């Protein structure tokens, strides 16, 4: 009698790839500018913020540049549905750089984490034709105040280069599309820090 061999399907699945996260160090720290879930405070080591503009944007925004002596605070959050394309579109002037080995956080697992940085040679220092927007800076500092307190705002100034850049006061008619209104305390705190750092304000 012929013996029939039976086979059991291999149901062992390949391990899932690490969850995709990104590190935000500017407007993304303000949770009112996005709907990313489960954001957590984190620290990026070996990078420093700097004000820069690109040919794609007529005003200056933050980017990060390598600096082995620097550490900056920010937020990490999962990329929704691991859809990097949508996030890449939001951060269109930037390159996505793997940075999970340089980020400390409190998560129990070790996700893949990227940071967005404008490539060297594709950005320039702000000037009066490409200034920093106060409406953007307000959003960033409001986020840092909420996440890290007044000390967090002070550290933000200390770990960001380019404060010789002119800042356009556009609060009355904000240019930044994700602008937010500051309360009296927040506004006074930002204004005092700008005055303390002797930041040059432009009027429209």
CB atoms within 10 A of CB 68: 8
Whole-number Å distance between alpha carbons of 123 and 120: 7
**pLDDT tens per residue across span 70-116:** 999 999 999 888 888 888 887 878 899 999 899 999 998 888 999 99
Site of tokens 């579109």: 89
**Dist. CA 163–CA 156, nearest whole Å:** 11
44 in Cβ contact with 81 (< 8 Å): no
Tens-place pLDDT, residues 145-172: 999 999 999 999 999 999 999 999 999 9
Q: What is the mean pLDDT of the chain?
A: 89
Phi, psi of 186 (to 5 degrees): -65, -45
- Tell me the two tokens of residue 100: 């999970």
Going 38 to 20 to 105 to 137, the CA torsion angle's sign is negative
Question: Domains along the chain?
Answer: 20-203 (3.10.490.10)
Phi and psi angles of residue 184, each rounded to the nearest 5 degrees, phi first:
-60, -40
H or E element, residue 114? strand 112-117
Q: Residue 10: what pLDDT?
A: 52
**DSSP structural state of residue 122:** S
């Amino acid at each position: 009698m012929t013996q029939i061999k039976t086979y059991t399907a291999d149901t062992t699945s390949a391990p899932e790839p690490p969850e995709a996260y990104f590190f935000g160090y500017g407007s993304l720290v303000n949770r009112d500018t996005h709907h990313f879930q489960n954001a957590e405070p984190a620290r990026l080591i070996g990078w420093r913020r700097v004000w820069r503009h690109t040919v794609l944007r007529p005003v200056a925004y933050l980017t990060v540049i390598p600096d082995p002596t620097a550490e900056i605070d920010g937020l990490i959050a999962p990329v929704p549905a691991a859809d990097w394309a949508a996030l890449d579109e939001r951060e269109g002037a930037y390159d996505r750089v793997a940075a999970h080995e340089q980020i400390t956080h409190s998560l129990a697992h070790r996700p893949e984490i990227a940071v967005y940085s404008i490539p060297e040679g594709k950005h320039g220092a702000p000037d009066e034709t490409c200034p920093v927007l106060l409406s953007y800076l307000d959003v960033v500092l409001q986020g840092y105040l909420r996440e890290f307190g007044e000390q967090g705002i002070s550290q933000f100034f200390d770990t960001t280069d380019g404060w010789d850049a002119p800042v356009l006061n556009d609060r009355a008619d904000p240019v930044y599309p994700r602008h937010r209104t500051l309360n009296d305390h927040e506004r006074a705190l930002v204004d005092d820090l700008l005055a303390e750092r002797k930041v040059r304000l432009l009027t429209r």
